[in-house]
Amino acid sequence: MDCCVIPLRHGGLSLVQTTDFFYPLVEDPYMMGRIACANVLSDLYAMGITECDNMLMLLSVSQKMNDKDRERVMPLIIQGFRDAAEEGGTSVTGGQTVINPWIIVGGVASVVCQPNEFIMPDGAVPGDVLVLTKPLGTQVAVNAHQWLDQTERWNKIKLVVTKEEVKEAYQEAMFSMATLNRTGLMHKFQAHAATDVTGFGLLGHANNLAAQQRDEVAFVIHNLPIIAKMAAISKACGNLFNLIQGTSAETSGGLLVCLPREQAAKFCSEMKSQSSAAGGQGAAGGAWIIGIVEKGDRRARIIDKPRIIEVPARGSQTANQENNSASPSPNLS
């Protein structure tokens, strides 16, 4: 499970709690703080929880940093973390800071809940639909951006992508990772189970979720929404990322949600409306139907030739064109 759920001694309440941390992956310290906070809170949101009572921040300052760099960088990371927490309706009340060879940033999120406030991730049934709420490809985008200054690596991908497209994808990945997965729609549309997609990649987390289901079900993934051009980069790099195979790591990725079939399209539509109001997840925004739940052996798989949904970066010419036209309803074809 993404969180621990601990029954308390008082009044049928439970403590729901999670912790996470990782190393910097973007160049902007403020955005790194926001991404770290969003990543911690995402575990609560994957349980259908929308409120967080308290956060702690875990911060490791690199011993390799000089005083000037430390005084510039670390306050920006802290401010980004605090601002994201405030956006999520909570606050950072403490934590721990240490000296370490590497910068590490993360935290703890806690909430006391009544049983009707969280959704246990074990109720998927045959006939459900799988929905993903953020595009894939963040690891590829971040690495490709780093390769802009590395001639040997850039030469491997320059035939399938331009430098401008890499910069746009990097910005999209950064803003996507910093976007909170906070939504009340899992309750509104009777979600049966969910998890967030992070370090194990889409297929890894789908397998973990499938294994936890009470019913004997399997997840079959047909569609892969991916930040524009990242699928082509992944293919050009051979087995380095395995994005299409579903094992490319994501950071602060979207929610993978099991929904009743009759609710999935409405869930996606409302997620898109919320996303557009908040600045959007690329042009398509919001959520994509990516697969189905069928009777099976509590495993997940991606079909041999999944449909790749290219998600243009916000602000790109393609995104602006799509935002000015009607978008088709998500489907499984």
Per-residue pLDDT of the chain (333 residues; tens, 9 = 90+): 899 999 999 889 999 999 999 999 999 999 999 999 999 999 999 999 999 999 999 999 999 999 999 999 999 999 999 999 999 999 999 999 999 999 999 999 999 999 999 999 999 999 999 999 999 999 999 999 999 999 999 999 999 999 999 999 999 999 999 999 999 999 999 999 999 999 999 999 999 999 999 999 999 999 999 999 999 999 999 989 999 999 999 999 999 999 999 999 999 999 998 877 665 544 446 899 999 999 999 999 999 999 999 999 987 766 666 655 544 444 554
Q: Quote the pLDDT of residue 10.
A: 84
pTM of the model: 0.93
Which tens digits make up the pLDDT trace of 205-236?
Answer: 999 999 999 999 999 999 999 999 999 999 99
**Strand 54-62 relative to strand 92-100: parallel, antiparallel, unpaired?**
parallel
Q: Which pLDDT does position 319 carry in this prediction?
A: 64
- Check: CB of residue 78 under 8 Å from CB of residue 59: yes
Cross-strand bridge partners of residue 111: 16
The whole-number pLDDT of residue 192 equals 98
Q: Note the pLDDT of residue 314.
A: 83
- How many CB atoms are located within 10 Å of the residue 317 CB? 10
| pLDDT for 333 | 40
Q: How far apart are CA 27 and CA 170, in angstroms?
A: 10
Give the integer Cα–Cα distance in Å for 23 and 43. Answer: 18
Cα–Cα distance for residue pair 249/265, rounded to 1 Å = 27
Closest by CA to 45, choosing from 188, 173, 178, 195, is 195
H/E element holding 201? helix 201-211
Residue 131: strand, helix, or coil: strand
The pLDDT of residue 205 is 98
Q: 3-state DSSP call for residue 212?
A: coil
As a whole number of angstroms, the distance between CA 1 and CA 195 comes to 8
Contact 252, 199 (CB under 8 A): no
AA letter at 262: E
Q: What is the pLDDT of residue 327?
A: 46
DSSP code, position 65:
S
Contacts of 281 (CB under 8 A, 6+ apart): 133, 134, 135, 176, 179, 275, 311, 314
